[in-house]
Amino acid sequence: MTSESQTLPPILIDRLALRRGDRDVLSDLCLSVGKGEIYALLGGNGAGKSTTLSALLGFLRPDGGSLRVAGIDPVQAPERARARIAYLPENVALYDQLSAYENIAYFMALAGSEPAKAAMDEALDAAGLQAEARARRVSGFSKGMRQKVAIAMAVLREVPVLLLDEPTTGLDPRATADFNALLATLKSRGTAILMVTHDLLGAAGCADRIGFLADGRIVEEVRQPAEIDVVALHHRYGEAVAA
């Protein structure tokens, strides 16, 4: 571990610019997420939320600025950076013909790890997946159950960064509450969590900070959102976020 990775926040974006064709998707974007912090990035469709995640994952080459993931430049060393990230997409891709256990074993093997069944059960306990479901094929799983399998993998990998893309879309209130409780567990472990979402009220319930993305940059940032007037924020940004 380098001294830089120890001093920098796990997620650091500095004056990031990214163009697609003649359109500036991101322009002078600055954002950081510290250890044990949950940051919610909100914005309308096309605002650049998913583009930000893709850049952190090393899938897009910026036109300006810099990024660091656990002190690693994902442009110069994408595989090293991705090894420090757990990524939960909006629609979790699991092998339907495999059980929860088998999916975890397969994907963890790809990451170079072979967790014991006891370790998988501990992670699935933390994720809240019922014990009786773990040996069943995931073809019959709900979205919330699939997310719990994916989160269990994030718990097992013990990486410093978790990226979430619209994590609560399609979840019922109980599943959302379970998901937020799990994020709190990961946060207490020191994981830096960046989630992109349209759900302002949900973000206010779990995030330490909320950033509003428009015109390729953060136009406002709210700290301790649970303690501010969320209704007023919704009136100010709800229309843009839902667009």
Cα–chain center distance at 143: 16
Per-residue model confidence (pLDDT) at position 174: 79
Token pair for residue 238?
A: 């709800």
Query: What pTM did the predictor assign?
Result: 0.87
Confidence grade of residue 202 (pLDDT, cut at 50, 70, 90)? confident
Per-residue model confidence (pLDDT) at position 137: 95
Three-state DSSP class for residue 83: coil
Helix (H) or strand (E) holding 51: helix 49-56
**Lowest-pLDDT range of 142-156, 199-213, 222-236:** 222-236
Q: What is the pLDDT of residues 145-164, one digit of tens each?
A: 888 898 888 888 889 999 99
Q: What is the pLDDT of residues 83-134, one digit of tens each?
A: 999 998 888 889 999 999 999 999 999 888 899 999 999 999 888 889 999 9
| Residue listed under structure tokens 């509003």 | 212
Burial of 186 (0-12, 13-18, 19+ CB in 10 A): buried
Q: For residue 134, how many other CB atoms are within 10 A of its CB?
A: 21
